[in-house]
Chain A
Amino acid sequence: MKPFTIAWVNLKRLFRDRSTYFFVFIFPLALILLIGLQFGGDFLPQVGVLATEEGTTATEIVDALEAEPGLEVVPLRTEAELVDQVERGNLDAALTIPAGLDQSLAAGQPAELGFIARPGGTGAALAPVVGEVVQRSLLAANAAAFVSVQGLGDFPTSVALAQQVENGIPAAEVTEETVGESLFPASLGRFDLGASSQLILFMFITALSGGAVLIQTRQLGLSRRMLSTPTSVTTIIGGEALGRFAVVALQGIYIMIGALLIFGVHWGDPVAAIAIVLVFSAVGAGAAMVIGTLFRNAEQAAGVGIMVGLGMAALGGAMLPLQLFSPTLQRIAHFTPHAWASDAFAKIRDQGNIIDIAPELGVLAAYAVVLILFASWRLRVAITRP
Chain B
Amino acid sequence: MANVMEAHDLAKRFGDLVAVDGVGFSIAPGETYGLLGPNGAGKTTTISIIAGLLEADAGKVEVGGETISPSAIGPKRRMGLVPQDLAIYPDLTARENLHFFGRLYGMDNNEVKERSNRVLEMIGLTDRADDLTKEYSGGMKRRLNIGIGLLHGPELLILDEPTVGVDPQSRNAILEAVEALSGEGMAVLYTTHYMEEAERLCDRVGIIDQGRIKAEGTRRELVNLVGQKDRVTIAAAGGQLQEAARRLSGLEGVEEAGADDQGITLLVVEAGRLLPVILSELSQNGISVSGVTIEEPDLEAVFLHLTGKALRDV
Contact = CB atoms under 8 A, between A and B. Distances in A.
Interface string B130-146: 00100000000000000
A230 B91 contact: no
Interface in A137-179: none
Interface stretch (A5-13, A70-78, A274-282, A355-363): A5-13
A65 to B, nearest CB: 60
Q: Which of B55, B73, B74 has the most CB of A within 10 A?
A: B73
B73 A232 contact: yes
Interface string A176-200: 0000000000000000000000000
B104 A230 contact: yes
Interface stretch (B82-90, B182-190, B201-209, B290-298): B82-90
B279 to A, nearest CB: 52
A5 B105 CA distance: 11
B100 A221 contact: no
Interface string B30-46: 00000000000000110
B48 interface: yes
B103 interface: yes
Contacts of A225: 81, 83, 87, 101, 148
B119 interface: no
Contacts, number: 79
Contact of B91 (A16, A221, A231, A384): A16
Contacts of B148: 225
Nearest to B71: A232
A384 B176 CA distance: 33
A312 B71 CA distance: 37
B96 interface: yes
Contacts of B65: none
Contacts of B91: 13, 16-17
Nearest to A225: B87
Contacts of A224: 53, 83, 87
Nearest to B55: A384
A253 interface: no
A229 B83 contact: no
A74 B264 CA distance: 115
Nearest to A228: B81
A386 interface: yes
A324 interface: no
Interface residues of A, number: 24
A361 to B, nearest CB: 34
Contacts of A220: 85-90
A231 B104 contact: yes
Interface string B86-119: 1111111000100011011110000000000000
A9 B89 contact: yes
Contacts of B52: 227-228
A236 to B, nearest CB: 9
Contacts of A13: 89, 91-92
A226 interface: yes
A378 to B, nearest CB: 16
Nearest to B73: A230
Contacts of B71: 232-233
Interface string B51-81: 1111100000000000000110110110101
A1 interface: yes
A228 B73 CA distance: 9
Contact of B89 (A222, A227, A384): A222
A12 B103 contact: no
Contacts of A17: 91
B83 A221 contact: yes
A165 to B, nearest CB: 81
B92 A229 contact: no
A386 B54 contact: yes
A1 B87 CA distance: 22
A2 interface: yes
Nearest to B51: A228
Interface string A5-45: 10001001100110000000000000000000000000000
B87 A384 contact: no
B87 A222 contact: yes
Given A221-B87, A227-B70, A230-B77, A9 B92 contact: yes
Contacts of B132: 16
Given A12-B92, A230-B74, A386-B48, A2 B104 contact: yes
Contacts of A232: 71, 73
Interface string A219-252: 0111011111111110000000000000000000
A232 B71 CA distance: 6
Which of B14, B54, B100, B105 has the most chain A CB atoms closer than 10 A to its own CB?
Answer: B100
Interface string B180-224: 000000000000000000000000000000000000000000000
Contacts of B106: 230
B99 to A, nearest CB: 9
A242 to B, nearest CB: 14
A232 B53 CA distance: 11
A228 B52 CA distance: 6
Contacts of B73: 230-232
Contact of A228 (B53, B74, B88, B92): B53
B89 A5 contact: no
A227 B44 CA distance: 16
Given A221-B85, A227-B52, A384-B70, A2 B92 contact: no
**4 pairs of A and B residues whose beta carbons are closest in the complex:** A221-B87, A228-B81, A225-B87, A229-B104
22 contacts: A1-B103, A5-B100, A9-B89, A16-B91, A16-B92, A17-B91, A220-B85, A220-B88, A220-B89, A222-B88, A224-B83, A227-B70, A228-B51, A228-B79, A228-B83, A230-B73, A232-B73, A233-B70, A384-B54, A384-B55, A384-B70, A386-B45
Given A2-B104, A224-B83, 8 more contacts: A5-B100, A16-B91, A220-B85, A221-B83, A224-B53, A229-B101, A230-B76, A230-B106
Interface of B: 14, 44-45, 48, 51-55, 70-71, 73-74, 76-77, 79, 81, 83, 85-92, 96, 100-101, 103-106, 132, 148
